[in-house]
Structure 1
Amino acid sequence: MVVLSNEIRWFFGAIKRADAEKQLLYSENQTGAFLIRESESDKGNFALSVLVDRAVKHYKIRRLDEGGFFLTRKRTFTTLNEFVDYYTQTSGGLCVKLGKPCLKIQIPAPFDLSYKTADQWEIDRNSVQLLKRLGSGQFGEVWEGLWNNTTPVAVKTLKPGSMDPNDFLREAQIMKNLRHPKLIQLYAVCTLEDPIYIITELMRHGSLQEYLQNDAGLKIQLTQQVDMAAQVASGMAYLESQNYIHRDLAARNVLVGEHNIYKVADFGLARVFKVDNEDIYESRHEIKLPVKWTAPEAIRANKFSIKSDVWSFGILLYEIITYGKIPYSGMTGAQVIQMLSQNYRLPQPSNCPQQFYNIMLECWNAEPKERPKFETLYWKLEGYFETDSFYSDADDFIG
């Protein structure tokens, strides 16, 4: 058993791979910043995570039978301290020489005012101040707001006539009780007059669709794209466990917060809203659907299930890997429906790894029951890079 002092700045303990990347990608860390953590996939062993040009590389640290550690058997070390000392002097087969230990950043949890509104579901709209318009969508506008002059919140102001208030309140009561770190938390509502307000936690960077399009790939690389997908899959796996269906999963309905946090939003709202955005929601048997994101069985027979959400997740993966491109570009909804009936699938984007595309194809299985569970998708994405591949002499490079 290896015992390491908590005072060692480069040892982060049982931190997850995705969390290690968030820590290293923090703006004050520079190339060469590193940390050593307990391996997720190989219990009892360690992994080295290193920042290189705003990307993170990961290496498995192997153990010798007689004790000691190594990346390549050409160079072994009695202790992890010796290991770090050596690789701070020379790269020795690593992608870069180790620099300063990663800064330990406390990533704050969003302030949760649920407990304050537990017995006050309907709140006074005068307690909510609208500060800054963040965007607009098919249901209305989204504002950054302040509740009781103290708590930052997001406020969705709904277009008059966009839904039946009684239907919404029934659905919203269910939504409020759905609590998971990767779901937007619904706090309260103002429904007694128009426009109706929906009060939620604040995500300052807006929708994932806009975030992807605005960055245009300049800062986002595959490691971040996989992390986005894994976080969304985590939230959807929770909805799956609660037997709850989203019905409108897409990049426009995922929100981006500080420190690369991504959360699923607007789950359940498609059930009660009367949408009028003809660019996205097209009439199909008098029901408006986001056809390019909707599973074939849901288009044909209005048959929604968690498996139709899995299909939509495959389209969301396409949006992520193409930096927010609209799927089936240049095709109308009617053309998409016709092509899907002939087993057409979106082609593999030029920058999309085969491993990532294979996950998309699994989501688009024509038979709903053959599509993977969100729990399975989450573990596939969380462990996406956890396979060995050769890198110079370091045969345990896994990044």
Structure 2
Amino acid sequence: MRSFMLYTRWFFGAIKRADAENQLLYSENQTGAFLIRESESQKGEFSLSVLDEGVVKHYRIRRLDEGGFFLTRRKIFSTLNEFVSYYTTASDGLCVRLEKPCLKIQVPTPFDLSYKTVDQWEIERSSVQLLKRLGSGQFGEVWEGLWNNTTPVAVKTLKPGSMDPNDFLREAQIMKSLRHPKLIQLYAVCTLEDPIYIITELMRHGSLQEYLQIDAGSKIYLTQQVDMAAQVASGMAYLESQNYIHRDLAARNVLVGEHNIYKVADFGLARVFKVDNEDIYESKHEIKLPVKWTAPEAIRTNKFSIKSDVWSFGILLYEIITYGKMPYTGRTGAEVIQMLSQNYRLPQPPNCPEQFYSIMLECWNAEPTERPTFEKLHLKLEDYFETDSSYSETNNFIR
């Protein structure tokens, strides 16, 4: 049966719930468009995702031990093909009758500028054209650019003195080896003269922080917020698997692309930046930290781990659920350090579900070893809306 399903237009395999929603919300899909995917939380089971008037709804397809598939036990099918055939003729409890299979959108994957830049990251500055300034910050500016008059890229120009070029080149070698759909792909650098250029894939909607602040709840709701968090956790789980630490995880360092794609950026740069900001804590060892996102033990000892990144992820969740609000609003870095020493935690924001806030609190466990892994956080966020308590025999809709 599995080999047959690989050739059906409606079977999308092991894609995630969020990816299924992105596919179905593609403008050319109409009400009744559907797909079947492998369940993320229940091995051997499947989920049905259906588009209903601009909203994607999900149903768990249960499986009998002796074979057979069903939404409710009163109607059991021997194959998924029979299941689909039946529900294309009658909704019978579904939100709508199944119509056409979901159209597959091909989401671009990171690529190199050319075969040369796979191993060589220093390129000619003259090959990069700056077209449009996208933003600026304490380290420099971000531009939309064009490489060799052919390839759209993002170019980060760094203020002179913001980092040591030799330090960055060592970091760039590692960064180029890290490839994941939820990490910004580093293409190349120009370091032979100031300002340093960092050339990456282009994400047209800018930083997640600005994206959230501009929306302020007009179009982005909990479903999208959980999806953002899950995508970031996916990228961080990959860094975790590679024994790599970000050290500056925050909404400002997550970028937004087309089709609701969110990617972690600037991993590795925290190791080489020299920053000066009132919210940055400078230790006696001259290591400067973004205090409001930094775990207490990292502030105390200047020792970072993937678990200190998990703490920062909890702050990122706060930013997501508050539409880019500054954590510890009105407090200086020194005041935040004092508050954390007294086990203070950011309070549950208005309109933040208890379930979402509990994940934040897990990330802020005082004991680093008790904080969840990014792998677990990713699974928890992917399954956020898929809980067995939301099912009944008469209504199998995943709420």
**Counterparts of 1:388 and 1:271, CA distance in 2:** 43
List per-residue Cα deviations over 1:129-168 (Å, max 9, x = no partner). 1111111122111111111111221110011121222222
Question: Following the alignment from structure 1 to structure 2, what is the Cα–Cα distance between the partners of residues 21 and 88?
Answer: 20
Q: Distance in 2 between matches of 1:268 and 1:7?
A: 41
Deviations 1:73-98 (A, max 9, x none): 34445554554455456543334444
Does residue 1:275 correspond to 2:237, yes or no? no
Change (3 A) 1:242 1:74: closer
Aligned to 2:24: 24
User: Normalising by the residue count of structure 1, what TM-score does the alignment of the two structures yield?
Assistant: 0.90
Q: Please list, as runs of the form range in 1=range in 2, the aligned pairs for 1:42-191 lying within 5 A after superposition.
A: 42-64=42-64, 68-77=68-77, 80=80, 83-84=83-84, 86-88=86-88, 91-113=91-113, 115-191=115-191
Identity %, equivalent residues: 85
Greater shift in the superposed pair: 300-309 or 290-299: 300-309
2:271 is equivalent to residue 292 of structure 1: no
SS in 2 for 1:141: strand
For 2:261 and 2:23, how far apart are their aligned partners in 1?
12
Other-structure match for 1:244:
244
Kept in 2: contact 1:389–1:397 (CA 8 A) = no
Per-residue displacement from partner, 1:166-216 (whole Å, max 9, x unpaired)? 222222222222222222121211111111111111111111111222222
The Cα shift of 1:345 comes to 0.9
- 2:364 corresponds in structure 1 to 364
d(CA) in 2 for partners of 1:5 and 1:298? 49
Query: What secondary structure does 1:171 align onto?
Result: helix
Pairwise CA RMSD: 2.5
Number of matched pairs: 398
Cα distance change on mapping 1:81 and 1:188 into 2, 3 Å: closer
SS of the residue corresponding to residue 389 of structure 1 reads helix
Q: 3-state DSSP class of the match of 2:388?
A: coil
Q: What one-letter code is carried by the residue in structure 2 that aligns with 1:191?
A: T
- What residue in structure 2 maps to residue 397 of structure 1? 397
Q: Is the 8 A contact 1:389 1:396 kept in 2?
A: no
8 Å contact kept, 1:212–1:323: yes
Query: For the Cα contact (< 8 Å) 1:293–1:315, is it kept in 2?
Result: yes
Which residue of structure 2 aligns with residue 331 of structure 1? 331
- 1:259 counterpart SS class: helix
Q: 3-state SS of the aligned residue for 1:72? A: coil
* TM-superposed deviation, 1:11: 3.1
Instruction: Give the Cα separation in 2 of the matches to 1:188 and 1:392.
Output: 53
| CA drift at 1:282 | 4.7
Q: How does 1:302-381 map to 2 (within 5 A)?
A: 302-381=302-381
Farther off after superposition, 54-63 or 95-104: 95-104
* Structure 2 residue matching 1:211: 3-state secondary structure: helix
Deviation at residue 65 of structure 1 after TM alignment = 6.1
- The answer for the alignment partner of 2:36 in structure 1 is 36
CA distance in 2, matches of 1:376, 1:391: 23
Distance 2:391 2:81 in 1: 23
- Alpha-carbon offset, residue 107 of structure 1: 1.8
1:248-263 alignment, distance < 5 Å: 248-263=248-263
Residues 388, 397 of structure 1: 8 Å contact kept: no
Give the drift of 1:276.
Answer: 3.0
Q: Kindly state the Cα deviation for residue 263 of structure 1 after the two structures are TM-superposed.
A: 1.4
Q: Give the direction of change, closer, same or farther, for the CA distance of 1:372–1:58 in structure 2 (3 Å limit).
A: same
**Which amino acid letter does the alignment assign opposite residue 48 of structure 2?**
L
State the alpha-carbon separation in 2 of the partners of residues 168 and 7 from structure 1.
47
Task: Give the alignment of 1:1-20 within 5 angstroms.
Answer: 1=1, 4=4, 8-20=8-20
Instruction: Report the Cα offset of residue 393 of structure 1.
Output: 5.1
SS in 1 for 2:362: helix
Amino acid at match of 1:318: Y
> Aligned equivalents of 1:31 and 1:392: distance in 2?
25
Give the gaps of 5 or more residues in structure 2.
Answer: none
Amino acid corresponding to residue 315 of structure 1 in structure 2: I
1:316 and 1:65 mapped to 2: Cα distance? 42
Cα distance in 1 for residues equivalent to 2:174 and 2:89: 57
- Aligned counterpart, 2:234: 234
Q: Counterparts of 2:126 and 2:20 in 1: how far apart (Å)? A: 42
CA distance in 2, matches of 1:165, 1:197: 10
> Relative to structure 2, which stretch is displaced further, 65-74 or 230-239?
65-74
**SS of match in other structure, 1:152:** strand
Distance of 1:368 and 1:358 partners within structure 2: 16
* 1:277 Cα offset (Å): 4.0
**1:320-377 Cα shifts (integer Å, max 9, x gaps):** 1222111122322222222211111111223222222222111101111221222222
Secondary structure of 1:44's aligned partner? coil
Under a length normalisation based on structure 2, what TM-score does the superposition of the two structures give? Answer: 0.90
Check the 8 A contact 1:182/1:263 in 2, yes or no: yes
Alignment partner of 2:108: what SS? coil
Aligned to 1:201: 201
Q: 1:95 to 1:138 in 2, by over 3 A?
A: farther
